[in-house]
């Protein structure tokens, strides 16, 4: 029941159409919460019916008109309430871990290519995050100047991005470990 809330956060950061939200869920917020455009349109309708968001028809030239959604006061309250609720344990799905354990019943070395492929994807994602960090948060971490209030949104987005970076680095290192293990084991049973 949190796609609604992810959408609220995204619309508070910047109002936009269903299409634009779908694009954001392919990057940025999508690194921590995925959704397809079909889901988004369905949920936007419900949120509008519930009064969490307002719509504004935006006529455009050279491209189809769009509906720009923004968060209503009511939606903001709903987000606040959600923020104060404790999170319940998330359901985990690490398909690669299941495959690694399954490899014991097959030829373990057959997984090597797949693990390498994943490692490459994680390296790419890390590069992507680091490029984003350089672009959006600069290379130097300037110490906060006295009297200058740090921008909470920016700081928090950066903190989340640092989490993504730490995750990718951890995965790359772990997959090195897995590759070592797979190489040590001979051909399967």
Partner DNA sequence: TACTGCATGTAAGATGTTACATGATTAC
Partner DNA sequence: GTAATCATGTAACATCTTACATGCAGTA
Check residue 99 for interaction with DNA (CB under 7 A): no
Q: Do 12 and 29 contact (CB within 8 A), yes or no?
A: no
Counting residues that bind DNA (by CB under 7 A) gives 26
Strand pairing partners for 188? none
Q: What DSSP element (H or E) covers 57?
A: strand 53-58
Q: What DSSP element (H or E) covers 165?
A: helix 152-184
Which of 73, 80, 120, 124 is in the footprint of a copy of itself by CB under 8 A? 80
Binding mask 5-44 for DNA (x = CB under 7 A): ------------xxxx-xx----------xxxxxx-xx-x
Task: Tell me how far, at minimum, the Cβ of 181 lies from a copy of itself, in Å.
Answer: 4
Q: How many CB atoms lie within 10 A of CB 121?
A: 14
Compute φ and ψ for 37, nearest 5 degrees.
-65, -30
Task: Tell me how far, at minimum, the Cβ of 88 lies from DNA, in Å.
Answer: 7
State the Cα–Cα distance between residues 120 and 115, nearest whole angstrom.
Answer: 9
> What DSSP line would sit under 34-77, residue for residue?
---HHHHHHHHHHHHHTTSEEEEEE--SSS--EEEEEE-HHHHH
**Residue 155 touches which of DNA, a copy of itself, none (CB < 5 to 8 A by kind)?**
a copy of itself
Nearer to DNA, 25 or 129 (CB): 25
Check residue 99 for interaction with a copy of itself (CB under 8 A): yes
Strand pairing partners for 70? 54
Check residue 29 for interaction with a copy of itself (CB under 8 A): yes
Check residue 116 for interaction with a copy of itself (CB under 8 A): no
Pairing of strands 53-58, 66-71: antiparallel
Residue 52 DSSP one-character state? S
Residues 56 to 75: which contact a copy of itself by CB under 8 A?
none
Residue span binding a copy of itself (CB under 8 A) among the ranges 4-12, 49-57, 60-68, 128-136: 4-12
Check residue 94 for interaction with DNA (CB under 7 A): no
Interacting residues with DNA (CB under 7 A): 1, 3, 17-20, 22-23, 34-39, 41-42, 44-45, 60, 62-67, 91
């Amino acid at each position: 029941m949190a796609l609604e809330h992810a959408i609220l956060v995204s619309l508070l950061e910047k109002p936009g159409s269903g299409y634009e939200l779908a694009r954001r869920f392919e990057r940025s917020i999508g690194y921590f919460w995925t959704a397809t455009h079909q889901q988004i349109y369905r949920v936007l309708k419900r949120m509008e019916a519930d009064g969490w968001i307002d719509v504004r028809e935006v006529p455009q030239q050279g491209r189809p008109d769009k509906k720009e959604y923004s968060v209503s006061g009511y939606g903001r309250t709903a987000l606040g309430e959600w923020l104060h609720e404790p999170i319940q344990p998330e359901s985990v799905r690490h398909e690669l871990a299941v495959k690694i354990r399954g490899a014991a019943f097959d030829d373990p070395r057959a997984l090597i290519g797949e693990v390498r492929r994943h490692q490459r994807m994680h390296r790419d994602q890390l590069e992507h995050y680091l490029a984003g960090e350089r672009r959006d948060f600069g290379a130097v971490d300037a110490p906060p100047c006295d009297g200058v209030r740090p921008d909470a949104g920016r700081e928090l987005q950066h903190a989340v991005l640092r989490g993504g970076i730490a995750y990718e680095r951890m995965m790359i290192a772990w997959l090195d470990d897995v590759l070592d293990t797979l190489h040590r084991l001979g051909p399967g049973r």
